[in-house]
Amino acid sequence: MSGSEGSHRDAATLPSTSDAGARLRALRGSTVREISQAVEDAIEQGAFQPGEVLPSVRELAGALQVSPATVAGAFRELRSRGVLTTRERSGTRVSSRPPIARRSLVPVPGNVTDLSTDNPDPELLPRVTPILRKLDAPHRLYGGGSMLPQLREEASRQMDEIGVCPDHLTVADGTFAAIERILSAHLKPGDRVAVEDPGYTGVLDLVRAMGLHPVGVAVDESGIAPEALTAILADGVEAAIVTPRAQNPTGAALTSGRQADLCEVLNAFPRVLVVEDDHAGPVANHPYCTLSGSRERWAVVRSVSKSLGPDLRLAVVAGDRVTISRVEGRLALGPGWVSWIIQQLVVDLWRDPEAGRMIAAAAEAYRSRAQALIGALRTQGIAARGRSGLNVWLPVVEETPALRALFQRGWAVAAGEIFRLSSPPGIRITTAVLPEREAPHLAQDVAQALGRSA
């Protein structure tokens, strides 16, 4: 999915659970609301870090001298807002991206190469300044339309090129704003949403923060597994969020065969809302395979963050008439519109020949860099995958020792835990900024970190 997880923190530096116990005992509160607020304040102030395991309900209840039911109620409230998460056999922990302001994480030292952020290579992004100097954006006044006509024209052409019906279009200020409004248009708190497992942490956290229940669907190199999706749909979900290409964190991409299999599965459940996240767009270096077809409820979100730059907060959305109407209505009740200046800038970049060449070069570079690392790992006897996009997924037995060992060797990568619900451990390596010549060096360090060196 689009976006960055923020600065890397070496897993070895995270506070221990016993330290967390001491910090929780310093909290105050005797009611559900007071305890909930105290825990949230502690997270905001940096006392508890994203992903950190919290002591048990019983332990905190004893420290605060309240009933376990009171603490459980506080944790339940925090879970419903996506601040905390709970998994079987791993306890309650702070969400990877809790929806509250908090202190920044420790930045990556200068002697460590940061491959943890999912950022595009800034050297491969089209230059914005020359376009800005020539920009002649119209003033947008209250009461006008939400989508610039030129953007609608370009978005319609792009959607048509990837096989998505462009009859109903709108615009949002980024992927997450679009997905949130799409889900809000049809779902209510407590509804179940099928998500990829492993899948993008931003989607998992957003679903939780909306009071929805994420249900993981297994992913292989060709995307969501049809058998797993069948089982989840039969068990009852209201929506499914799918990344047809450049899947984050695994780099999976749908093939035409997998597309046909998934469409057959979804056709048996016509009322399920299908949301497609094309966050990488033209730099995904893989053909687009849509599942929207003639579904009753669907939406396809295409962001410009990976191809034009993360600071251009814009995504175009195609969908069925009802969904797009509701999304536009929700936009009108909030910000009203996405800046026409940004919309015009995106249009001008899309139409600029030099920007087009940069986007094509970026797509090829990302493909080459990912494949260089996968190939180098293969020579070390290590299997990894990354069919498309900016990331490579590497299964490991244990994540924390692998992260620590790589950090000590000068590489910061992302722990797979923040992307997983019940899938096996792994680490995500962002190859977007990894020169091909460095791939053998990194592969050797990975082999040593995993104890597989000769």
- Give start-end residues of each CATH 1.10.10.10 domain in the chain: 11-94
Right CATH number for 113-123+355-449 from 3.40.50.720, 2.40.50.140, 3.40.50.300, 3.90.1150.10? 3.90.1150.10
Find the angle CA(207)-CA(212)-CA(215) to the nearest 5 degrees: 80
Nearest partner of 386 among 372, 370, 399, judged by Cα: 370
The CA distance from 31 to 38, in Å, is 11
Neighbours of 28 (CB within 10 A): 9
Residue with tokens 């004893």: 62
> Residue 17's pLDDT is what?
44
> Residue 267's pLDDT is what?
95
Cis preceding-peptide flag for 15 (omega within 30 of 0): no
Nearest partner of 217 among 227, 207, 209, 205, judged by Cα: 227
> Residue 10's pLDDT is what?
37
- Give start-end residues of each CATH 3.40.640.10 domain in the chain: 129-351
Assign 3-state DSSP to the chain and report helix, strand, coil percentages, each to 5.
45, 15, 45
> Residue 14's pLDDT is what?
37
Residue with tokens 């994203």: 50
Right CATH number for 129-351 from 1.10.510.10, 3.30.1280.10, 3.40.50.10740, 3.40.640.10? 3.40.640.10
- Give start-end residues of each CATH 3.90.1150.10 domain in the chain: 113-123+355-449
- Using the Cα atoms of residue 121, residue 125, residue 127 and residue 132 in order, give the sign of their dihedral: negative
The CA distance from 180 to 299, in Å, is 12
Pairing outcome for strands 91-94 and 84-87: antiparallel
Q: Distance between terminal CA atoms of the chain?
A: 36
Contact 378, 235 (CB under 8 A): no
Chunked into runs of 10 residues, the chain (454 residues) has average pLDDT values of: 42 44 73 90 85 85 89 89 77 82 71 94 95 85 85 97 96 95 95 97 92 95 97 96 98 97 96 97 96 94 97 96 95 87 96 97 98 97 96 96 95 93 95 97 96 63
> Residue 6's pLDDT is what?
42
Right CATH number for 11-94 from 3.40.50.720, 3.20.20.140, 1.10.10.10, 3.40.50.2000? 1.10.10.10
DSSP letters for 199-237: --HHHHHHHHHTT-EEEEEEEETTEE-HHHHHHHHHH--
Q: Supply the DSSP symbol for 434.
A: -
CB burial readout 301-320, b (16+ within 10 A) else e: bbbbbbbbbbebbbbbbbbb
> Residue 105's pLDDT is what?
57
3-state secondary structure 66-99: CCHHHHHHHHHHHHHCCCEEEECCCEEEECCCCC
